[in-house]
Amino acid sequence: MTNVISFQGEPGAYSHQACVEMYPDMEALPCNTFEGAVAAVKEGRAELAMLPVENSTYGRVADIHHLLPETGLHIIGEHFVRVHINLMVVPGTKLEQVKHAMSHTVLLGQCRSFLKEHSIAPRTGVDTAGSAKQVADDGNPEMGALASELAGSIYGLETLAENIEDNQHNTTRFLVMSPEPKRPTGENLMTTFVFQVRNIPAALYKAMGGFATNGVNMVKLESYMVDGSFTATQFYADIEGHPGEPAVDRALEELGYFTTHLDILGVYPRAEFRKSVS
């Protein structure tokens, strides 16, 4: 289906916010799981999928790095969402009436100072937008929701306090997945790939040497086990630049000498957000 982008979560989730910010003219399709968001694209019910991969406070999103190489989809873009957390209630509720606040456990941990200051007890919900929906459905003034402004507008909640997160730089990075790769040219491009090194001494050190000697900036490198094996380790990497650039081509060629598997997941424009934090 054209002009539809899938995401995991209820309407109003931060993934939904990422869809609205990056593709305001596309219809956002909520899915129960990350796998469901991917399946929507592969089955033709959505044109793109928006998947979170990492958070500046909590690190990588569980299972995403395992999922990405298996999707058969390609990364065509990235987007960063500044995670602003708001306390929202049924209309007409006063702050002193709120005794509990519901949200995903990660968000609850980001608002400890505010909750403690106002003697509000945390309550764990399935997710952020789902918590907002439940608070709206229940209509109980003693229960608030911690979620995005988008969630509040969708479910008709009133915002009592804005930007109450303890960590003022909390940001989530999302990747946009497509059935077809795009090969943009020019500057300010990123390339994401996964690889497995050969089982030889200093394999990773040697594999990385080509990026250093060719001046290719690797902005992310993470490892994770494959199929539960303690010996088969897969690495996920982001670099600045793209295949076709001589320096990148030389680095990838050298990487190939020391790997058993190399899969480029996507080449895509670098988000404007990176410029603001560089």
Active site residues: 172, 174
Q: Could you give the CA distance from residue 56 to residue 3 in angstroms, rounded to a whole number?
A: 30
As a three-state string, the secondary structure of the chain is: CCCEEEEECCCCCHHHHHHHHHCCCCEEEEECCHHHHHHHHHCCCCCEEEEEEEECCCEECCCHHHHHHHCCCEEEEEEEEECCCEEEECCCCCHHHCCEEEECHHHHCCCHHHHHHCCCEEEECCCHHHHHHHHHHHCCCCEEEEECHHHHHHHCCEEEECCCCCCCCCEEEEEEEECCCCCCCCCCEEEEEEEEECCCCCHHHHHHHHHHHCCCCEEEEEEEEECCEEEEEEEEEEEECCECEHHHHHHHHHHHHCEEEEEEEEEEECCCHHHHHC
